[in-house]
A and B are shown apart, each in its own frame.
Chain A
Amino acid sequence: MNQKTKIESSHELRAASCKSLVNETANCDWKLHAFKYAKFIVFAVVFFLSTFTLSAQQQRFPKPEFDTGYEQPSPITPEPRALALEYFDVLVLLLVLSAATWMALKSRSRQGLIWLSIFTLAYFGFYRNGCICSIGSIQNVTLTFFDPTYAISLTALLFFVLPLLFTLFFGRTFCAGACPLGAIQDLIVIKPISLPKWLNKTLGLIPYLYLSLAVLFAATGTDFIICRYDPFVGIFRMDAKLLMAILGISFLLMGMFVARPYCRFLCPYSVPLSWMSRFSKWHLTITPSTCIQCKLCANSCPFDAIDYPTNEKEVVKSGLGPKRFLTYVLVIPLWVALGVFVGNRSHVFLSKANSTVYLAELLISHPEVRNDPDNIDVQTFMSLGKTMDELVVEAEKIQDKFYLGSMIAGGFMGLVIGMTLLNTVVFRKRQDYEPHKGNCFSCARCVDYCPVEK
Chain B
Amino acid sequence: MRFSLLLSLGTVSAAALRKVTTDDYVWQIDPFKCTQCGRCATECVMSPSAVKCVHAFDLCGYCDLCGGYLKPDANARSTAAENQLCPTAAIERRFIEEPYFEYHIDEDLCIGCAKCVAGCTSFGNGSLHLQIIHDICLNCNECSIARVCPSDAISRVPASEAYKVKGSWTNPT
Contacts and interface: CB of A to CB of B under 8 A. Distances in A.
Interface stretch (A28-36, A75-83, A183-191, A198-206): A75-83
Contacts of B141: 131-132, 136-137, 139-140, 224, 227
A383 B150 CA distance: 11
A52 B150 CA distance: 32
23 contacts: A3-B71, A11-B123, A59-B59, A59-B125, A64-B100, A72-B58, A72-B102, A75-B57, A75-B167, A78-B134, A80-B26, A80-B134, A80-B135, A83-B22, A141-B12, A145-B15, A151-B21, A152-B19, A153-B24, A164-B9, A165-B9, A239-B47, A380-B151
Contacts of B169: 58-59
A154 B21 contact: yes
Contact of A83 (B35, B156, B159): B159
Contacts of A281: 2
Contacts of B142: 139, 223-224, 227-228
Nearest to A69: B97
Interface string B118-139: 1100111100000101110111
B6 interface: yes
Contacts of B58: 63, 72, 74
A380 B150 contact: yes
Contacts of A320: none
Contacts of B156: 150
A319 interface: no
B112 interface: no
B139 A131 contact: yes
Interface residues of B, number: 75
Interface in A65-122: 66-68, 70, 72-75, 77-81, 83, 86
B89 interface: no
Contacts, number: 188
A367 interface: no
Given A70-B96, A75-B57, A228-B144, 11 more contacts: A4-B122, A61-B124, A78-B135, A80-B139, A81-B134, A131-B138, A139-B142, A153-B20, A355-B148, A376-B38, A380-B35
A7 B67 CA distance: 8
Contacts of A83: 22-24, 159
Contacts of A289: none
B24 A61 contact: no
Contacts of A240: 45
Given A64-B62, A79-B162, A153 B25 contact: yes
Contacts of B37: 376, 380
Interface string A1-43: 0011011101100000000000000000000000000000000
B116 to A, nearest CB: 10
B150 A381 contact: yes
Interface in A259-286: 275-276, 279-281
A153 to B, nearest CB: 5
B75 interface: no
A161 interface: yes
Contacts of B46: 237, 239
A139 B147 CA distance: 15
A4 B97 CA distance: 30
A73 B115 CA distance: 23
Contacts of B150: 376-377, 379-381
A197 interface: no
B5 A276 contact: yes
A177 B53 CA distance: 41
A164 B5 CA distance: 10
Interface in B8-35: 9, 12-13, 15-17, 19-26, 35
Nearest to B22: A154
Given A70-B96, A131-B141, A152-B16, A7 B151 contact: no
A144 interface: yes
Nearest to B39: A376
Contacts of B84: none
Contacts of A64: 61-62, 96, 100
